[in-house]
């Protein structure tokens, strides 16, 4: 991963894959604001809302740095690739790509209860000038699932303990995800102690490994607990996903 500038957006991003970056961190003199929709919108309609909101804040489209989506159900790997192609094309239409790299961090999960009828926007993040000198840089780590890309490409073979959902397997998946998040934090010059929200997405019970694996694994971020969404990661076969942010300003829209 490389930490690169998004010069028009006032943030830096950790390189990831074509659909999304690995994370974003605000430039000095700026901070990231996180906005959650009261009710998700079909994601293309959601981008219209983002445009209107940014205009009202006197911010350009380039300030958009992270997206959170909700999907009806997990995709096949092929279906996920097809969705990502259209999503990336929308970012290109907005002129958000940086030298053909995607700077926008993203999470995309499928709620177990009350899923949307189509892929929908749940939340987004954007940069604004900071009114003071924040003690810590604000940041967003993209959704990180139990897919170890060191084992290969986006395929079932790269999934940690593929096909297993025992407590032991889920514990290993959670530990693997935490281990993958740590270098992303380090790459952006922040740490677990700087986190204000740790979100977990799984349809499986956490209780047997929450204290020993998750809370101990995230260090000082455990002070704020974790937010558990009863949801599945975006691709069939993945069972555990996590994203992290360190934000001073949280908004609720609608």
Report the CATH number at residue 93: 3.30.1330.40
The domain tally of the chain equals: 1
Report pLDDT digits (tens) over 164-177: 999 999 999 999 99
Tens-place pLDDT, residues 54-65 = 999 999 999 999
Q: What is the 3-state secondary structure (H, E, C) of the chain?
A: CCEEEECCCCEEEECCECCEECEEEECCCEEEEEEEEEEEEEHHHHHHHHHHHHHHCCCCHHHEEEEEEECCCCECHHHHHHHHHHHHHHHHHCCCCECCECCCEEEEEEECCCCCCCCEEEEEEEEEECCCCCCCCCEEEEEEECECHHHCCCCHHHECCCCCCCHHHHHHHHHHHHHHHHHHHHHCCCCHHHCCEEEEEECCCCCCCHHHHHHHHCHHHHHHCCEEEEEECCECCCCCEEEEEECCEEEEEC
What is the residue-averaged pLDDT of the chain? 95
Q: What is the per-residue pLDDT for 18?
A: 87
pLDDT, one tens digit per residue, over 192-210 is 999 999 999 999 999 999 9
Domain with 170, as residue range(s), is: 3-253
pLDDT of residue 155: 76
| pLDDT per residue as tens digits for the range 67-99 | 999 999 999 999 999 999 999 999 999 999 999
pLDDT at 126: 98
- Percent of the chain whose pLDDT exceeds 90: 90
pLDDT digits (tens, 9 = 90+) for 121-163: 999 999 999 988 888 899 999 999 999 866 556 778 889 999 9
pTM attached to this predicted model: 0.95
pLDDT tens profile 211-220: 999 999 999 9
| pLDDT tops 70 at residue 48 | yes
């Amino acid at each position: 991963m490389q930490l690169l500038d998004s010069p028009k957006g006032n943030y830096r991003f950790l390189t990831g894959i074509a659909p999304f970056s690995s994370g974003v961190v605000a430039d000095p003199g700026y901070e990231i604001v996180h906005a959650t929709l009261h009710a998700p919108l079909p994601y293309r309609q959601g981008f219209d809302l983002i445009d209107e909101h940014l205009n009202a804040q006197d911010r350009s489209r380039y300030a958009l740095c992270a997206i959170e989506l909700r999907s009806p159900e997990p995709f096949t790997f092929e279906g996920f690739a097809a969705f990502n192609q259209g999503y990336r094309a929308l970012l290109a239409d907005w002129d958000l790509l940086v030298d053909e790299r995607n700077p926008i961090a993203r999470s995309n999960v499928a709620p177990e209860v009350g899923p949307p009828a189509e892929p929908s926007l749940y939340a987004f993040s954007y940069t604004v000038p900071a009114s003071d000198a924040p003690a810590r840089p604000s940041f967003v780590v993209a959704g990180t699932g139990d897919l170890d890309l060191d084992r290969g490409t986006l395929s079932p073979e790269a999934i940690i303990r593929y096909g297993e959902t025992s407590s032991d397997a889920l514990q290993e998946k959670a530990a693997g995800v935490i281990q993958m998040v740590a270098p992303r934090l380090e790459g952006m010059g922040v740490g677990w102690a700087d986190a204000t929200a740790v979100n977990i997405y799984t349809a499986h019970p956490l209780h047997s490994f929450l204290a020993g694996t998750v809370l101990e694994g995230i260090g000082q971020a455990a002070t704020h607990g974790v937010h558990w969404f009863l949801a599945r990661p975006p691709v069939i076969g993945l069972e555990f996903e996590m994203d992290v942010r360190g934000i001073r300003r949280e908004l609720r829209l609608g």
